């Protein structure tokens, strides 16, 4: 069978290299250069898939990336499985396995095909209308809908291929390597501009490269041989880079273009090994020339979707480029001259053309004359009213069109055929142009949207700009490029061009049938099974906006984004609603132009490289000592250190007890550290913290709270005065970068007169915090030269010292309420000093603790964690931290906001302690707090922000925010949970050591 459909040898196909592949489990072969689509057609296969909604048999319709029907699953049941691939773009290779989608048990016998007979019951919006009631049944419906929805199957294993990203900067980017693109790229390169030319196909030349008709001549050569010579010169042009198999996916503002370069998909599995599969190119071009060509339109008539119905241009490409006949008995159906070119190509290869149906009344041109002279029957002013053939077209019925084209007259003529080529004219491929923000205008005379205004330095040329004929293109394009690139010379002026087509076209968006529209199936969106009927229904139901009609009928919402049918949808809407196309506008074309796989989008940022993470200098020690980690911003922080199979609760209880009873050690290196210097440093701190800083002595530390200008707590931390004009500020781990940014903002924009310099030193120091009653003994062993006596080194003070020869800073500060010290040392010595502390602490059972224990210990003391006990609605007054807000300072960031009418309300949410009446019950963080469980509707007073079981107090403790909580001390409140109501008593948030005796113990 296959040989008979292979016609005269094509030079684009290497018939000496046979390639074998599998389709739906059977073995076939094609030749090197074939796409899956051309190889299947050569094997007589048109039925490739089933449609989305009605499961109608569908075949190959196009020869390019606009294909709506022939979408297949590649390499099913393997890690490289890929759904929704267009058979028209897949280059076959040895070992390729492809299968049909959306059918069960097989494409030839598909149970879902029953939907086709039920289709009168499945109008637009069927799912919306049907599955709404009763609402509680949705979960049951959903299961079945999800099962029957979706085309391909996602792979279940992770993608084993390698993907890459690459930045390219160039003077000129040319998108599309057809005749216009080649002229543009060569002109740019010859004028010394650094140029990149990309094309989605494996070869350059667009449709001209296989246009070998005598009717298209450039300088007295066939247009294809002229172009071939032009392409052969490209290699010698140094500053012209060409990337084929590279599809522009998105065109963003400022000439930023994303393109996918396909590197290995056409190679055999063996040849792909260790190669990058696809590369996402991030191209920034000074100028962009879009030469993306145009897409042929189908025509909208009854049963226009059967396998064997193709675009006329596709029939031509299959025969001229791939050397494959789509049928042995062909009919062409057209509203313009393009189909006659196809007829000529078929005729020259000796393939039967049964008839040409032309809806125009009296079209004349040189090419029509030639076709007539070959004795091919042309039915003028006729239209197709129906087609037959379930799995492949076998018959069409035609009737004469009425004068106005709105109905049919006369008697029906039936014609047998096995292939129907359809041409409804051409649509400029303006997708990329509009993505970039370009605005279109509607050209009334031939019903096309063409580029109108450009948002950046770019131009559309050739048929994507609405110039469809070769003579027009060659006359216009060289001049446009010269002007756009502002260059002196182009080699392409004054070419002599011969063409034989006439541009006349008769546009009828929806062709009439002898049946009423309700009894017909004129498909507009082939992939999503939206018919002209559905669009009319949507309009009847009151939808007017084109965007709404699109969503209601799903027109244009498939993987092909309606590349074929969108114009017809617009035309039918405009016609039915009685508005002008230009006023109706188009739906938005969104990137990507053709689907991108996730692998291409993420590139190398997979697995552990998905997001960067930061490690402290002691990280390896934590790993070695069995720590579990938690993510805090980008940091990996030790969370807890389980021993002997402890769970988190057990480990945290042990760590917390050890820290209070003897000694604990914490890696605090992740805290943000900002070095502040300058003669106005003290004044600066005065303005950014709520408390006073001018009188802080050198060598002393102070805790500070930072507010937003709206009075809400933003960050906190201890800042130490190292010298007269030198401070070191600590911030929360997660807030470090934002604090730095905010301080810089005020310094640069509000107070440029202040002499202050900020440097982030977070990564420069390792910070080791040793706490507990034995902490002093331990640090004295590690730094024996330093006087740790309380008189010389009291709480909230700092000393410079040395460990060996290495300088360090020691602060006596505490976040646990225990007597504790923080050693800051150059990061590279962090791990060895940590180990020294462990060694020195051995006799005191020094216990490493993680962030969870740190949180528990500070909660026992009622210390807040910004971001856990606060959100962006808590003032220091709400936190009952009035003591830290200076009354004397004239101004600081956020001060004025602390007495706005809203912030002084008594019934704001305020931070309080919560004690469960049953001390063994630990509350859930986030649980809601109420006063009266019987009141309807139930009134939420606030929620639990921190909650732990304290091993040092042997009871459950919690912090929470409660409306008016400040005045509720001792009051009973309730926390309703799923199965029980927990009663709690409002308490002082400081649960342990209210007198701070332990700090000095």
Partner 1 sequence: MFVINCPYCGEREQSEFKAGGEAHIVRPKQPTELSDDEWAEYLFMRKNIKGIQYERWNHAHGCRKWFNMVRDTSNDEIKAVYKMGEKPPTI
Stretch that binds partner 1, among 55-63, 262-270, 532-540, 894-902 (CB under 8 A): 894-902
Segment 408-447, which members bind partner 1 (CB under 8 A)? 437
How many Cβ atoms are within 10 Å of 534's Cβ, its own excluded? 27
Cross-strand pairs, 636: 631
Options 444, 620, 745, 918; binder of partner 1; rule CB under 8 A: 745
256 is a contact residue toward partner 1 (CB under 8 A): yes
* DSSP β-ladder status, 309-311 and 419-423: parallel
Stretch that binds partner 1, among 150-158, 214-222, 247-255, 659-667 (CB under 8 A): 247-255
Nearest to 199 by CA among 284, 290, 266: 290
934 is a contact residue toward partner 1 (CB under 8 A): no
611 is a contact residue toward partner 1 (CB under 8 A): no
Name which of 284 and 443 has its Cβ closer to partner 1: 284
Give the nearest distance from C-beta 188 to partner 1 in angstroms: 20
**Which residue carries 């050690």 as its tokens?**
665
Give the nearest distance from C-beta 753 to partner 1 in angstroms: 11
Q: How many helices (H) and strands (E) does the chain have?
A: 25, 50
User: What is the b/e burial string over 222-248, where b = at least 16 CB atoms within 10 angstroms of the residue's CB?
Assistant: bbbebbbebbeebeeeebbbbbebbbb
Give the nearest distance from C-beta 430 to partner 1 in angstroms: 18
What is the C-alpha to C-alpha distance for residues 715 and 113, in angstroms, rounded to an integer? 63
Phi first, then psi, for residue 322 (nearest 5°) are: -95, -10
Name which of 762 and 767 has its Cβ closer to partner 1: 762
What is the C-alpha to C-alpha distance for residues 38 and 138, in angstroms, rounded to an integer? 44
What is the C-alpha to C-alpha distance for residues 307 and 394, in angstroms, rounded to an integer? 10
Cβ contact 237:559 at 8 Å: no
763 is a contact residue toward partner 1 (CB under 8 A): no
Options 493, 750, 755, 843; binder of partner 1; rule CB under 8 A: 750
Stretch that binds partner 1, among 157-165, 172-180, 789-797, 897-905 (CB under 8 A): 897-905
Distances (CA, A) of 416 to 860, 979, 989: 89, 73, 89
Stretch that binds partner 1, among 251-259, 381-389, 507-515, 929-937 (CB under 8 A): 251-259
Segment 173-202, which members bind partner 1 (CB under 8 A)? none
Nearest to 569 by CA among 611, 616, 537: 537
Binding letters toward partner 1, positions 269-308, x by CB under 8 A: ---------------x------------------------
Cis preceding linkage at 243, omega within 30: no
* DSSP β-ladder status, 329-334 and 419-423: parallel
Name which of 125 and 734 has its Cβ closer to partner 1: 734
Name which of 748 and 954 has its Cβ closer to partner 1: 748
Options 455, 582, 784, 926; binder of partner 1; rule CB under 8 A: 455
Name which of 252 and 795 has its Cβ closer to partner 1: 252
Options 150, 192, 253, 794; binder of partner 1; rule CB under 8 A: 253
Give the nearest distance from C-beta 284 to partner 1 in angstroms: 7
> How is residue 921 annotated by DSSP?
P
Options 400, 897, 983, 985; binder of partner 1; rule CB under 8 A: 897
Give the CA count within 13 Å in the CB-facing half-sphere of 717: 23
User: Element (H or E) spanning 481, and its range?
Assistant: helix 470-485
753 is a contact residue toward partner 1 (CB under 8 A): no
614 is a contact residue toward partner 1 (CB under 8 A): no
781 is a contact residue toward partner 1 (CB under 8 A): no
Options 744, 925, 931, 993; binder of partner 1; rule CB under 8 A: 744
What is the C-alpha to C-alpha distance for residues 987 and 38, in angstroms, rounded to an integer? 79
Give the nearest distance from C-beta 900 to partner 1 in angstroms: 5
Name which of 883 and 890 has its Cβ closer to partner 1: 890
> How is residue 750 annotated by DSSP?
I
What is the C-alpha to C-alpha distance for residues 546 and 539, in angstroms, rounded to an integer? 10
Please name the residue ranges forming H helices in 353-398: 366-373
Give the nearest distance from C-beta 173 to partner 1 in angstroms: 14
From the number of C-beta atoms within 10 Å of its C-beta (0-12, 13-18, 19+), residue 271 rates as: exposed
677 is a contact residue toward partner 1 (CB under 8 A): no
Measured CA angle at 35 (ends 31, 41), to 5 deg: 85
Options 220, 236, 362, 901; binder of partner 1; rule CB under 8 A: 901
896 is a contact residue toward partner 1 (CB under 8 A): yes
- Count of positions on this chain that bind partner 1 (CB under 8 A): 23
What is the C-alpha to C-alpha distance for residues 210 and 204, in angstroms, rounded to an integer? 11
Cβ contact 420:310 at 8 Å: yes
Please name the residue ranges forming H helices in 253-409: 269-272, 312-320, 338-348, 366-373
Enumerate residues 6+ apart whose C-beta is below 8 A from 272. Answer: 264
139 is a contact residue toward partner 1 (CB under 8 A): no
Options 752, 883, 906, 935; binder of partner 1; rule CB under 8 A: 752
Name which of 151 and 285 has its Cβ closer to partner 1: 285
784 is a contact residue toward partner 1 (CB under 8 A): no
Dihedral (Cα; 433, 434, 440, 445), 10-degree rounding: 70
Options 412, 604, 900, 994; binder of partner 1; rule CB under 8 A: 900
Segment 872-891, which members bind partner 1 (CB under 8 A)? 890-891
Give the nearest distance from C-beta 360 to partner 1 in angstroms: 42
Name which of 252 and 764 has its Cβ closer to partner 1: 252
Tallying the residues shown for the chain, one arrives at: 1001
Give the nearest distance from C-beta 725 to partner 1 in angstroms: 21
Cβ contact 145:166 at 8 Å: no
Options 80, 153, 443, 895; binder of partner 1; rule CB under 8 A: 895
**Which residue carries 């000529």 as its tokens?**
344
Enumerate residues 6+ apart whose C-beta is below 8 A from 841. Answer: 663, 665, 770, 774, 778
Give the nearest distance from C-beta 895 to partner 1 in angstroms: 7
Give the nearest distance from C-beta 758 to partner 1 in angstroms: 9
Options 252, 614, 615, 971; binder of partner 1; rule CB under 8 A: 252
Segment 704-743, which members bind partner 1 (CB under 8 A)? 709-710, 741
User: Element (H or E) spanning 620, and its range?
Assistant: helix 619-624
What is the C-alpha to C-alpha distance for residues 944 and 462, in angstroms, rounded to an integer? 66
Options 220, 232, 749, 805; binder of partner 1; rule CB under 8 A: 749
3-state secondary structure 828-875: HHHHHHHHHHHHHHHHHCCEECCHHHHHHHHHHCCCCCCCCCCCCCCC
What is the C-alpha to C-alpha distance for residues 414 and 386, in angstroms, rounded to an integer? 9
Give the nearest distance from C-beta 744 to partner 1 in angstroms: 6
Stretch that binds partner 1, among 69-77, 536-544, 748-756, 830-838 (CB under 8 A): 748-756
Name which of 469 and 710 has its Cβ closer to partner 1: 710
Name which of 131 and 256 has its Cβ closer to partner 1: 256
Give the nearest distance from C-beta 570 to partner 1 in angstroms: 25
Name which of 128 and 890 has its Cβ closer to partner 1: 890
Name which of 554 and 731 has its Cβ closer to partner 1: 731
From the number of C-beta atoms within 10 Å of its C-beta (0-12, 13-18, 19+), residue 800 rates as: exposed
Cβ contact 968:900 at 8 Å: no
254 is a contact residue toward partner 1 (CB under 8 A): yes
Residues of this chain that bind partner 1 (CB under 8 A)? 252-254, 256, 284, 437, 455, 709-710, 741, 744-745, 748-750, 752, 890-891, 895-897, 900-901
């Amino acid at each position: 069978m296959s040989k008979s459909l292979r016609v005269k040898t094509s030079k684009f196909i290497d018939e000496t290299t046979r390639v074998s592949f599998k389709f739906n489990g059977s073995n076939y072969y094609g030749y090197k250069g074939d796409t899956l689509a051309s190889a299947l057609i050569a094997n007589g296969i048109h039925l490739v898939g089933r449609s989305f909604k009605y499961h109608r048999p569908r075949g190959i319709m196009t020869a390019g990336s606009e294909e709506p029907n022939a979408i297949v699953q590649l390499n099913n049941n393997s890690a490289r499985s890929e759904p929704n691939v267009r058979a028209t773009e897949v280059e076959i290779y040895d070992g390729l396995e492809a299968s049909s989608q959306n059918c069960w048990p097989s494409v030839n016998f598909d149970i879902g095909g029953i939907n086709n007979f039920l289709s009168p019951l499945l109008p637009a919006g069927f799912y919306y209308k049907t599955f709404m009631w009763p609402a509680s049944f949705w979960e049951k419906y959903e299961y079945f809908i999800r099962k029957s929805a979706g085309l391909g199957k996602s792979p279940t294993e992770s993608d084993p291929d390698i993907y890459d990203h690459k930045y390219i900067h160039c003077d000129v980017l040319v998108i599309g390597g057809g005749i216009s693109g080649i002229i543009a790229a060569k002109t740019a390169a010859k004028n010394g501009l650094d140029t990149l030319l990309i094309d989605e196909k494996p070869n350059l030349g667009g449709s001209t490269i296989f246009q070998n008709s005598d009717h298209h001549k450039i300088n007295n050569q066939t247009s294809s041989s002229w172009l071939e010579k032009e392409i052969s010169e490209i290699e010698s042009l140094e500053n012209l880079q060409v990337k084929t198999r590279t599809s522009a996916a998105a065109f963003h503002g400022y000439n930023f273009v994303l393109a996918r370069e396909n590197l290995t998909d056409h190679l055999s599995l063996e040849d792909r090994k260790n190669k990058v599969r696809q590369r996402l190119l991030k191209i920034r071009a000074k100028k962009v020339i879009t030469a993306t060509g145009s897409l042929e339109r189908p025509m909208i008539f009854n049963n226009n979707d059967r396998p064997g119905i193709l675009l006329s241009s596709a029939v031509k490409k299959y025969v001229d480029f791939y050397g494959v006949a789509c049928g042995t008995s062909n009919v062409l159906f057209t509203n313009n001259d393009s189909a006659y070119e196809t007829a000529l190509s078929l005729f020259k290869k000796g393939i039967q053309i049964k008839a040409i149906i032309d809806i125009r009344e009296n079209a004349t041109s040189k090419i029509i004359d030639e076709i007539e002279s070959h004795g091919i029957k042309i039915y003028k002013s006729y239209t197709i009213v129906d087609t037959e053939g379930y799995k492949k077209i076998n018959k069409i019925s035609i009737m004469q069109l009425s004068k106005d084209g709105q109905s049919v007259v006369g008697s029906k003529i039936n014609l047998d055929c096995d292939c129907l080529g359809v041409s409804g004219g051409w649509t400029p491929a303006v997708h990329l142009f509009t993505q970039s923000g370009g605005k279109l205008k509607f050209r009334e005379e031939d019903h096309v949207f063409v580029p109108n205004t450009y948002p950046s330095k770019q131009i559309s040329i050739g048929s994507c700009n609405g110039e469809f004929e070769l003579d027009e293109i060659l006359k216009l394009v060289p001049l446009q490029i010269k002007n756009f690139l502002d260059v002196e010379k182009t080699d392409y002026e004054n070419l002599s061009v011969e063409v034989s087509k006439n541009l006349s076209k008769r546009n009828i968006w929806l062709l009439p049938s002898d049946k009423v529209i309700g009894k017909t199936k004129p498909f507009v969106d082939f992939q999503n099974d939206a018919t002209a009927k559905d669009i009319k229904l949507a309009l009847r139901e009151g939808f007017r906006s084109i965007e709404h009609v699109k969503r209601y009928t799903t027109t244009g919402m498939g993987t092909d984004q309606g590349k074929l049918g969108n114009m017809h949808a617009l035309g039918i809407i405009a016609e039915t609603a009685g508005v002008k196309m230009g006023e109706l506008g188009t739906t938005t074309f969104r990137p990507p132009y053709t689907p991108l796989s996730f692998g291409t989008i993420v590139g190398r940022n997979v697995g552990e490289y998905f997001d960067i993470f930061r490690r402290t200098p002691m990280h390896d020690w934590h790993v070695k000592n069995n720590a579990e980690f938690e993510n805090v911003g980008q940091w990996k922080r030790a969370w807890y250190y389980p021993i002997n199979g402890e769970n988190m609760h057990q480990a945290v209880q042990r760590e917390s007890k050890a820290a209070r009873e003897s000694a604990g050690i914490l890696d605090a290196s992740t805290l943000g550290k900002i070095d502040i210097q300058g003669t106005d440093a003290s004044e600066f701190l005065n303005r950014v913290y709520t408390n006073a800083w001018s009188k802080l002595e050198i060598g002393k530390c102070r805790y500070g709270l930072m507010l937003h200008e709206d009075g809400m707590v933003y960050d906190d931390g201890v800042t130490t005065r190292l010298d007269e004009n030198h401070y070191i500020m600590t911030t929360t781990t997660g807030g470090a970068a934002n604090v730095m940014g905010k301080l810089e903002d005020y310094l640069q924009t509000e107070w440029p007169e202040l002499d202050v310099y900020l440097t982030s030193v977070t990564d420069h120091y390792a910070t080791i915090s040793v706490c507990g009653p034995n902490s002093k003994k331990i640090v004295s062993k590690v730094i024996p030269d330093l006087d740790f006596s309380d008189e010389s080194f009291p709480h909230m003070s700092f000393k410079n010292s040395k460990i060996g020869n290495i300088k360090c800073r020691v602060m006596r500060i505490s976040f646990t309420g225990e007597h504790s010290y923080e050693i800051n040392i150059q990061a590279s010595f962090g791990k060895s000093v940590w180990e020294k502390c462990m060694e020195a602490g051995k006799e005191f059972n020094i216990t490493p603790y993680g962030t969870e224990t740190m949180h528990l210990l500070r909660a026992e003391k009622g210390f807040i964690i910004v971001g856990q006990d606060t959100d962006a609605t808590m003032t220091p007054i709400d936190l009952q931290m009035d003591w830290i807000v200076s009354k004397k300072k004239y101004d600081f960031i956020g001060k004025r906001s602390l007495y706005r009418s809203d912030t002084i309300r008594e019934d704001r949410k305020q931070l309080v302690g919560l004690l469960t009446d049953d001390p063994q019950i630990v509350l859930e963080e986030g649980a809601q707090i109420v006063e009266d469980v019987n009141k309807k509707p139930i009134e939420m007073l606030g929620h639990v922000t921190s909650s732990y079981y304290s091993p040092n107090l042997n009871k459950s403790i919690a912090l929470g925010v409660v409306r008016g909580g400040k005045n509720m001390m001792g009051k009973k409140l309730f926390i309703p949970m799923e199965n029980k109501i927990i009663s709690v008593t409002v308490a002082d948030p400081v649960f342990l050591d209210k007198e701070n005796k332990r700090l000095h113990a």
